[in-house]
Amino acid sequence: MTSLADKIPTLNEADLKALRANAARLVEHGSAVQVTTAADILPLIDARLAEIASAPKPVVVRKRAAPKKKLAPVTGHQTALPDKTA
């Protein structure tokens, strides 16, 4: 089974922040095993978050939407409501 420390490089920033919050909570309120495990993994999470923060952000180029086609105006009989006598 893969340890949590091995999975840290594959996690995205949001997952790392959630994992860090949980580890910090366990350091304060966990059992003895949870405290030591969380304390061991916190520096790894912080290092990975710092690495992500220092990496250059990719430039996002937004494409303009294609212009909408102009439709022919609707003529009378197509928009008229049906007659009740018909």
CA distance 21 to 43: 13
**pLDDT tens, position by position, 9-42:** 999 999 999 999 999 999 999 899 999 999 999 9
* Residue 67, both tokens: 């212009």
**What residue has token string 């520096």?**
43
> Taking each helix axis from N to C terminus, what angle separates 13-29 and 32-54, rounded to the nearest 10 degrees?
150
Residue range 56-76: average pLDDT? 82
**Percentage of the chain exceeding pLDDT 70:** 83
